[in-house]
Amino acid sequence: MEFVFTPEQQMIQDTARQFLDACSNSGHVRDAMTKTTGYDAELWQKICHEMYWQAIHIPEQYGGLGLGCVEMAILFEQMGRRLLCSPYFSTVALATNALLVAGTEAQKQHYLPRIADGSLTATLAYIGHASHGDNNSKDRYHNGWHTDSVTVTALPQFNQHTVITGYTLSGTLHYVPHGHTADLLVIAARLPDSSGEEGVSLFLLPSHLQGVEVQWTPSMDQTRPLAQITLNNVIIPADNVMLQSEYAWPLLEKTLQLACVALAAEQMGGAQQALDLTLEYTKERKQFGRAIASFQAIKHRMADMMLQVESARSAVYYAACIADEALQHHNPAAATDNVSQNDPLSPGNACHSSLDHSLADELPLASSLAKAYCSDAYFHCAAESIQLHGGVGFTWEYDPHLYFKRAKSSETLLGNASFHREKIAQIIL
Amino acid sequence: MKLSFSSEDEQFRQEIATWLQDNLCGKYEPLRFRGGPGDEHMFPEERKRWEQHMAQAGWLCVGWPKEHGGRALSINQQVIFYEEYARAGGPGLAGHIGAGLTGPTLIAFGTEEQKQRFLPGIINGTEYWCQGYSEPSAGSDLANVSTKAVLGTAADGHTQQWRINGQKVWTSLAHESDWCFVIARTEPGSQGHKGLSFLLVPMDQPGIEVRPIEQITGTSEFNEVFFDDAVTDANNIVGQPGDGWKIAMALLGFERGVSTLGQQMAFQNELDEIIRIAKNNGAAEEPTIRQRIADAWMGLRIMRYNSLRMLSGPQDGTLQKEAMIYKLFWTDWHSNLGKLAMDVLGPESEIIEEGQYGLSRLQSMYLFSRSDTIYGGTNEIQRNIIAERALGMPKEPKGAV
Ligand SMILES: Cc1cc2nc3c(=O)[nH]c(=O)nc-3n(C[C@H](O)[C@H](O)[C@H](O)COP(=O)(O)OP(=O)(O)OC[C@H]3O[C@@H](n4cnc5c(N)ncnc54)[C@H](O)[C@@H]3O)c2cc1C
């Protein structure tokens, strides 16, 4: 047991920090935010061709760097600190994880090298309901993931031997991160008349296919654009169905759990930066003849922020270690059987013989823990950062609002804290 | 980063688990899950005998160096030891002040003679210690102690000894202890951190009076201790006269560390009990209770992750951020757990189990948890420390009121 960075991991962190300090400062972020693509294409190319971050946890056999989830979390933490605007999260945390978890060998061989060499961006879309509550019978409150979030229909096409040759996809997908620029879409859809976990399938859908309509939906947090995707009878071959065909729900869930770990790392980095910039400001700003940092009311609030940031850090890196185990021991067929839950702290688990395996089984708990804790911590720190800046904290010019907005959108993305606490409750209660 | 333990470590886990299974039974069975904060009044003598039993098999002070009778277990194995001990329901160790505070302090700062005199009593479970820091006017502002000690000649006309006068307060387990380490002012007229010394004082003497203080729980685990010409041998000073503050602070650093994992396992036992009740009485179906139970579970896991980080980090005495937040985190968590326990019980939480005020374990935990945020540096003091030392914010102004 060694819960610290190795020297290599420390180096990855230092390099990422330096790179992003130089390439993703407040000015860069504000530039990228105003573009309809939501990111600076030149910087993305630089990331892909100089840093190879998009290849971080793609196995070497598919042209990746073959590193793990801890290394990936290190990058996400630094990106979160600097509010990096890029399709990194959607491509790596969502789509690449989906390919690693549910891709067939042929699909992995086809797509992973293209992601690894930076020629392809991608995302994942699964939410079939809008939740604006406009008297539209299709509206539905959406928080996290539920089997009934999946509403796009996949109508199988058969040949004369009643073998499935392809599918016709139709329906609308909402709140898709970087969905309007992604080259490749991973889509969750379901067989007609199916419900619950039954009938849920994952598809790989190149976005240029006929009938795919993407539309940018400008959002309050401008650092991570969202899109709406409409599928008008899009026809795709059977080769594009991902693993366990219509039994893909557990694989989708696992993908989302892995993505939660990445998102939590990003949130923790953002919370850290909200703390750091507030600390700097309170040390400089003087009122009543002294730095406002000398007031105990402010010191104590900063101490509480640090407590949350450090705890978030522990939660993230623990979950990242678990995510590594979960990917290493991943078996798509087994994942779709009922996974046994295992809590090492509970009585009766005194002696683990195959510890690694039980660590892998912790993914649902560890990922929900990290996402729940980091969602609350980031929102708290970003809100405190506005308050402790006073009036300037409320301006467009100062940065706290960027963190505050990103905190909120990240909290909502993949389920807020109460969604994840309920997930935990379902396991432990 | 790596979470799994090596196979040697897992073998060790098996060894200690088996030993506990074979030994914590029979006449010791009633001690399981007893003792510890809030329950110190239960079976104090029997628990001391259990500690002596553990000592014979070499299971006390497992992290101490071999030369002092310890097992010199690695950090990982100490983690495992404390986890398995708590998992088996090992009773709260009455010797924890000696084992966790006095011992490490003597190993770090004591003379050879002091080590030979005092360490065996701790490691054998035969001598028990209490901590004489706080005074009526020296709480958070510990440097304000006014208990005095003067070096002089004993009644026999030749031996040198310290003569101590003053009062300590909130002294936990003083009534069960053989020795007390006392911070006293040895330089007349000195103020604040200067002129303090760290003395080792025997409790069984005419100059010391111990008066129990009744707590919020109706029981007494802490005391007032009056020193009225109490004496101790001239050699029973750790460090030099005037080093008291430095040693007192170093000692507080020993409070953190591996034993935190055992504490967490005890918390897990409490949480398990709450979950069991919630499932039985239907509270587990209430959405807000579900949220709070999940939150409590998360907090406990985070505590564990923070500890793993703390224990994996540099062991050179530098205080890492995860160590500085530790007390603030667990104390808030634990007092919330106390409230959660009562809310899960609902109106039944009010009903006294036996006699006039015989609290159940959870009621006692609920009330006792209100002290967690006070003793060992209040949460406000913890926040000051975090802000000043970890975040480099300006120090509190010194009051001249
Ligand atoms: C169960 C229990 C067991 C104990 N066991 C022992 C023991 O074995 N040995 C021992 O020596 N002591 C022991 N103590 C004493 C304990 O360490 C003190 O109670 C503690 O340090 C607080 O001191 P005080 O009670 O004088 O409170 P005070 O210092 O008077 O504090 C009162 C309030 O003021 C706040 N406050 C004080 N100073 C500041 C500041 N600078 N900034 C902001 N807020 C401030 C405090 O946080 C607190 O909320 C024990 C206490 C308890 C409750």
Mean per-residue pLDDT, A359-371: 97
Residues 317-356 of A with CB under 8 A from B: 317-318, 320-322, 325, 345-347, 350-353, 355-356
**Residue A381 to chain B, least CA–CA distance (Å):** 15
Assess whether the C-beta atom of B8 lies below 6 angstroms from ligand 1: no
Name the superfamily (CATH) of residues A125-240: Butyryl-CoA Dehydrogenase, subunit A, domain 2 (2.40.110.10)
State pLDDT tens for residues A417-426: 999 999 999 9
Q: Mark yes or no for CB contact A350/B387 under 8 Å.
A: no
Q: Please give the model's pTM, rounded to 2 decimal places.
A: 0.94
Residue B210 C-alpha to ligand 1 middle, in angstroms? Answer: 20
Give the number of the atom of ligand 1 that is nearest the alpha carbon of residue B133.
11
Catalytic residue among B51, B176, B221, B255: B255
In this predicted structure, what is the pLDDT of residue B257?
65
Judged against a pLDDT cut of 50, whether residue A342 lies above it is answered with no
Mean per-residue pLDDT, A82-111: 98
Judged against a pLDDT cut of 90, whether residue A140 lies above it is answered with no
Top residue of B302, B332, B373, B378 to mutate, by most chain A CBs within 10 Å, is B302
Give the number of the atom of ligand 1 that is nearest the alpha carbon of residue B141.
29
State pLDDT tens for residues B198-248: 999 999 999 999 999 999 999 999 999 999 999 999 999 999 999 999 999
Judged against a pLDDT cut of 90, whether residue A343 lies above it is answered with no
In this predicted structure, what is the pLDDT of residue A357?
61
Give the number of the atom of ligand 1 that is nearest the alpha carbon of residue B130.
8
Residues of B in contact with A356 (CB under 8 A): 4
Q: Mark yes or no for CB contact B394/A294 under 8 Å.
A: yes
Cα distances (angstroms) measured from residue B25 to each of A91, A332, A354, B367:
57, 46, 29, 30
Q: Mark yes or no for CB contact A9/B304 under 8 Å.
A: no
State pLDDT tens for residues B12-62: 999 999 999 999 999 999 999 999 888 888 999 999 999 999 999 999 999
**Residue A4 to chain B, least CA–CA distance (Å):** 5
Judged against a pLDDT cut of 90, whether residue B101 lies above it is answered with yes
List the domain boundaries for chain A. 7-120, 125-240, 249-428
Residues of B in contact with A291 (CB under 8 A): 394
Mean per-residue pLDDT, A47-66: 98
Give the number of the atom of ligand 1 that is nearest the alpha carbon of residue B37.
1
In this predicted structure, what is the pLDDT of residue A337?
65
In this predicted structure, what is the pLDDT of residue B400?
57
Cβ-Cβ pairs closer than 8 A, A with B, add up to 172
Q: Which two tokens stand for residue B66?
A: 């071999």
Assess whether the C-beta atom of B131 lies below 6 angstroms from ligand 1: yes
Judged against a pLDDT cut of 70, whether residue A356 lies above it is answered with no
Judged against a pLDDT cut of 70, whether residue A349 lies above it is answered with no
In this predicted structure, what is the pLDDT of residue A354?
41
**Residue B270 to chain A, least CA–CA distance (Å):** 11
Mean per-residue pLDDT, B110-132: 97
Mean per-residue pLDDT, B250-268: 79
Judged against a pLDDT cut of 50, whether residue A312 lies above it is answered with yes
Name the superfamily (CATH) of residues A249-428: Butyryl-CoA Dehydrogenase, subunit A, domain 3 (1.20.140.10)
- Give the count of beta carbons closer than 10 Å to the beta carbon of residue A137: 5
Q: How many residues appear in chain A?
A: 429
In this predicted structure, what is the pLDDT of residue B129?
97
State pLDDT tens for residues B275-323: 999 999 999 999 999 999 999 999 999 999 999 998 888 776 677 888 8
Distance (Å, rounded) from C-alpha B124 to C-alpha B70? 10
CATH architecture group of domain A7-120: Orthogonal Bundle (1.10)
Q: Mark yes or no for CB contact B10/A302 under 8 Å.
A: no
Judged against a pLDDT cut of 90, whether residue A28 lies above it is answered with yes
> Considering chain B, what is the average pLDDT of its residues?
93
Mean per-residue pLDDT, A67-73: 98
Judged against a pLDDT cut of 70, whether residue B100 lies above it is answered with yes
Domains in chain B, CATH or no CATH each: 7-94 (1.10.540.10), 129-242 (2.40.110.10), 256-390 (1.20.140.10)
Cα distances (angstroms) measured from residue A93 to each of A147, A249, A369, B27:
21, 18, 17, 56
State pLDDT tens for residues A189-209: 999 999 999 999 999 999 999
Residue B141 C-alpha to ligand 1 middle, in angstroms? Answer: 8
Q: Which of A208-222, B123-137, B316-330 has the lowest mean pLDDT?
A: B316-330
Q: Which of A118-127, A294-303, A377-386, B39-48 has the lowest mean pLDDT?
A: B39-48
Taking CA–CA distances from B393, the nearest residue in chain A reads A293
Distance (Å, rounded) from C-alpha A423 to C-alpha B389? 37
ipTM of the complex: 0.93
Three-class HEC string of chain B: CECCCCHHHHHHHHHHHHHHHHHCCHHHHHHCCCCCCCCCCCCHHHHHHHHHHHHHCCCCCCCCCHHHCCCCCCHHHHHHHHHHHHHCCCCCCCCHHHHHHHHHHHHHHCCHHHHHHHHHHHHCCCCCEEEECCECCECCCHHHCCCEEEEEECCCCCCEEEEEEEEEEEEECHHHCCEEEEEEECCCCCCCCCCEEEEEEECCCCCEEEEEECCCCCCCCEEEEEEEEEEEECCCEECCCCCHHHHHHHHHHHCCCCHHHHHHHHHHHHHHHHHHHHHHHCHHHCHHHHHHHHHHHHHHHHHHHHHHHHHHCCCCCCCCHHHHCHHHHHHHHHHHHHHHHHHHHHHHHHCCCECCCECCHHHHHHHHHHHHCCCCCCHHHHHHHHHHHHCCCCCCCCCCC
Q: Mark yes or no for CB contact B10/A355 under 8 Å.
A: yes
Q: For residue A348, name the pLDDT band (cuts at 50, 70, 90).
A: very low
Judged against a pLDDT cut of 50, whether residue A274 lies above it is answered with yes
Q: For residue A232, name the pLDDT band (cuts at 50, 70, 90).
A: very high
Q: For residue B152, name the pLDDT band (cuts at 50, 70, 90).
A: very high
Assess whether the C-beta atom of B172 lies below 6 angstroms from ligand 1: yes
Using DSSP bridges, classify how beta strands B129-132 and B179-185 pair: parallel, antiparallel or unpaired.
parallel
In this predicted structure, what is the pLDDT of residue A355?
46
State pLDDT tens for residues A234-253: 999 999 999 998 999 999 99
Q: Mutation test of ligand 1: which of B215, B375, B379 has the most ligand atoms closer than 8 Å to its C-beta? A: B375
* Catalytic status, residue B286: no
Q: Whose CA is nearest to atom 44 of ligand 1?
A: B380
Residues 271-310 of A with CB under 8 A from B: 279, 282-283, 290-291, 293-294, 296, 298-300, 302-304, 306-307, 310
Judged against a pLDDT cut of 50, whether residue A351 lies above it is answered with no
